[in-house]
């Protein structure tokens, strides 16, 4: 049964990628052995997306490259359901990295100041690099300017910004305070 499912996922991915490739000849690159669930939304708005061999993208995920951004997904990467990869600068994900559901990766923030508020369609960007053989837990948010080394584990529910050295385990503890009134 797993073989049939894999064949169906690979067929779906190749049809989706081929049809996108027809419209975006020089901005989408993919290996024929790629698998995608239903309802995967791939957006190419002036950016470039590259998928390596064996990539799996699960249902209801959004993958976007805009404004000259370059999103590169290595071999055998697993992107679980309800995840978002939003690229305006550069996002690179190393081979054999897996993600739990609901992982969000952003290489940009909106420009904001107290006098004018948020500026629509104006961004501050910085590259995001995720190494090889990493495990990114469910509902993790990875922000612009982040580098995660090889062989790292990022625990579920983390918010990551900055540099994480190779071989690190990142757990963000939270304290629950309950007061009775």
Per-residue confidence band for 157, with pLDDT thresholds at 50, 70 and 90: very high
- pLDDT at residue 121 is higher than 90: no
- pLDDT at res. 82: 98
Sheet holding 62-66, edge to edge: 41-45, 62-66, 84-87, 104-106, 141-142, 159-160
pLDDT, tens digit, 9 for 90 and up, residues 88-115: 999 999 999 999 999 999 999 998 888 8
Catalytic residue among 24, 108, 110, 116: 110
Instruction: Look at residue 6 in the predicted model and tell me its pLDDT.
Output: 78
Whole-number pLDDT of residue 9: 79
Q: Is 40 helix (H, G, I), strand (E, B) or coil?
A: coil
Over pLDDT 90: what percentage of the chain?
66
Strand segments (E) across 67-162:
70-73, 78-79, 84-87, 90-93, 98-99, 104-106, 108-113, 117-125, 128-130, 135-136, 141-142, 147-148, 153-154, 159-160
Task: Tell me if residue 110 is catalytic.
Answer: yes
When pLDDT is cut at 50, 70 and 90, the band that residue 149 belongs to is: very high
The residue assigned the tokens 């024929």 is 32
Alpha-carbon distance of 77 to 96, in angstroms, equals 5
The pLDDT confidence band at residue 19, using thresholds 50, 70 and 90, is confident
pLDDT of residue 102: 98
pTM above 0.75, yes or no: yes
The model's pLDDT over 47-90, given as tens digits with 9 standing for 90+, comes to 999 999 999 999 999 999 998 999 999 999 999 999 999 999 99
């Amino acid at each position: 049964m797993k073989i049939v499912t894999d064949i169906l996922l690979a067929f779906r991915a190749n049809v989706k990628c081929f049809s996108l490739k027809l419209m975006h000849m020089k901005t989408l690159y993919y290996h024929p052995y790629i698998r995608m669930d239903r309802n995967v939304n791939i957006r190419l708005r002036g950016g470039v997306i590259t998928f390596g061999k064996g990539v799996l993208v699960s249902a209801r995920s959004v993958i976007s490259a805009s404004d000259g951004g370059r999103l590169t997904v290595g071999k055998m990467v697993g992107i679980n359901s309800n995840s978002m990869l939003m690229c305006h600068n550069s996002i690179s994900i190393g081979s054999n990295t897996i993600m739990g559901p609901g992982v969000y990766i952003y290489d940009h923030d909106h420009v904001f100041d107290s006098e004018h508020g948020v500026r629509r369609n104006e961004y501050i960007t910085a590259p995001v690099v995720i190494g090889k053989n990493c495990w990114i837990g469910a509902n993790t948010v990875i922000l612009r300017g982040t580098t995660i080394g090889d062989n790292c584990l990022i625990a579920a529910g983390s918010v990551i910004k900055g540099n994480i050295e190779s071989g690190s385990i990142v757990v963000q503890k939270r304290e629950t305070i309950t007061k009775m009134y």
